[in-house]
Structure 1
Amino acid sequence: MTSRLLVSGSTGGAVTELVIPALLLRTPNAAWSQLVHIYVPQSPTVAFSGRDLRSPGITKATELALEAGFEPVVRSPGGRMVAYDSGAVVIDHLDATTDIRQAGRSTFAANADSHVRVLRELGDVDARIGEVDGEYCPGEFSINVEGDTKVVGSAQRVTATGSLFSTVVQVAVSDRVRAVITDVSEALGYDLRQSSIAGLADYAPALTADEVAAAFVTDYRDRLDMTDGQLPAEIVAHASTATPDGTSPFHVDDWTRAHPVLA
């Protein structure tokens, strides 16, 4: 198992896109040692974490997401809620060689260093590493612009079969994304400074999500010596059978445990 596979492009709706990395993380005898999937999401998504589910406001938060036209999904990695639509870029980096001893701050730091370098090379963006006051899904290794607004956040999941490091890059933040982050954060009881919500295009208006995705594809291909490829067809087909009930957040890990990929 030595291959490093790079995949680009969206695979479907919100549930399918979030189920795929969870299935890949649990796939036995994977043919790759590392797999990076970079895509522009097709569907407006509110990605909750397991932590969010413990909030007494989760029912109200789910209702607000649905009313705003966002699919509520409980993602596999940790952190807190993040919302995005087709103005964002998602990066899922799976590593079958990582175990719990390699998880934590060093992984976040290394990824933040790489990501901030890519953003600085894209144009006139003063990208920096660090949490800003009142940001959503706060984290030590968030990426901000000018020390004021958050534009990139990451979360990690580590299992016995490897790790998943997932990143959301906000490029063009629509009014509906700003509104749903604000409303859902309030319902969950999280402090939020609304002016901390931003995208790269607020500073470099010509940037598009497709352009940013392409820059990250080039970076991962060159930096990790990855080979372009496709997601395993059986994984995509299996993930596409996952169906939300339309009322409660779709729980990715519960579904993948109940519907494993057979060896």
Structure 2
Amino acid sequence: MTTAAKNHPRLLVSGSAVSAVTDLVIPALLLRTPDARWSQLVHIYVPRGPVVAFSGRDLRSPGIAAATEVALSAGFEAVVRSPGGRMVAYDSGAVVIDHLNSTSDLRHAGSATFAENAECHARVLRGLGDVDARVGEVDGEYCPGEFSVNVGGKVKVIGSAQRVTATGSLFSTVVQVTVSDRVRAVIEDVSEALGYDLRPSSIAGLADYAPALTSDEVAAAFAADYRGRLDMTDGPLPAEVVAHASTVVPSVSPFHVDDWTRANPVT
């Protein structure tokens, strides 16, 4: 191993930080941190609270104000996340994976990254039990994407989105393990407010097919995959980033992650 590799490890971090908003702010701060002490960092966690994560694209919908009110009325945090895509809602029945790469080489971004990650994620799901995980968009899914991961070609269980900046890239993934009634309802109602087509029967979680699965078990399976596949070393999130992200006090809804991180960089 070279000196550079020792000084810039591939770091695997497990566990939620503090709150749903804090967990969404952390990768945006990390993406903007110059001279990162890691070459890649993967943060895998089970969310602590319910959140509707909007994207910049959603903000262009004339229904965004109504969609925000739907989310808040249902008891969800309303946040505009850093990656793209469309709205996704989740709670502690999900697993979130934030994969950061500190290189600015754009070959590490784009459709090839989506394809590679989707295939790896589907393989992990197939190893969890009787889960017919496939890569591809299903008809009428929320946050539609060519590289969604579905079960049996019928329901979406994994979606991913990406953000690329001059200092690196963020590839963020949501794995739906157990979809609660409140998550299902808010996806339907927010999609309607935003004017998005949705087939409600396309919403499901892994536990609908492998009932014994828990979010913690799925998070552990993905951690083991990243640890082995990318030769990652277990460690903590940078303490200064967590402390800074924990100072967030949302004053508007939806809370704009990128606006806050640009105005409040880690110093």
TM-score by length of 2: 0.96
Q: Note the alpha carbon deviations across 1:6-48, whole angstroms, 9 max, x for none.
A: 0000011111000000000011111000000000000100000
Match of 2:255 in 1: 250
* Alpha-carbon offset, residue 98 of structure 1: 4.3
Contact 1:23 1:256 in 2 (8 A): yes
What SS is found at the alignment partner of 1:97? coil
Q: Which runs of 5+ in 2 are unaligned?
A: 1-6
Match of 1:177 in 2: 183
| Partners of 2:201 and 2:107 in 1: CA distance | 37
For residue 50 of structure 1, the aligned residue among 39, 50, 56 is 56
Q: How many residues align?
A: 261
| Partners of 2:12 and 2:108 in 1: CA distance | 22
Contact 1:99 1:159 in 2 (8 A): no
TM-score by length of 1: 0.98
| Partners of 2:105 and 2:139 in 1: CA distance | 32
Match of 1:95 in 2: 101
| Partners of 1:153 and 1:215 in 2: CA distance | 17
Does structure 1 residue 111 correspond to structure 2 residue 113?
no
Which deviates the most, 157-166 or 89-98?
Answer: 89-98
What SS is found at the alignment partner of 1:86? coil
| Partners of 2:108 and 2:34 in 1: CA distance | 20
Contact 1:100 1:159 in 2 (8 A): no
Q: Note the alpha carbon deviations across 1:76-128, whole angstroms, 9 max, x for none.
A: 00000000000000000000124334321100000001100000000000000
What SS is found at the alignment partner of 1:154? strand
Match of 1:126 in 2: 132
Does structure 1 residue 81 correspond to structure 2 residue 87?
yes
| Partners of 2:23 and 2:210 in 1: CA distance | 28
| Partners of 2:136 and 2:73 in 1: CA distance | 32
Letter of the 2:161 counterpart: A
Contact 1:99 1:161 in 2 (8 A): no
Letter of the 1:104 counterpart: G
| Partners of 1:92 and 1:7 in 2: CA distance | 10
Cα root mean square deviation, aligned: 0.8
After TM superposition, list the pairs within 5 Å mapping 1:214-253 onto structure 2: 214-245=220-251, 248-253=253-258
| Partners of 2:106 and 2:61 in 1: CA distance | 27
| Partners of 1:12 and 1:43 in 2: CA distance | 10
Identical amino acids, percent of aligned pairs = 81
Runs of 4+ in 1 over 2 A off after TM superposition: 98-102
For residue 186 of structure 1, the aligned residue among 192, 211, 236 is 192
Does structure 1 residue 260 correspond to structure 2 residue 254?
no
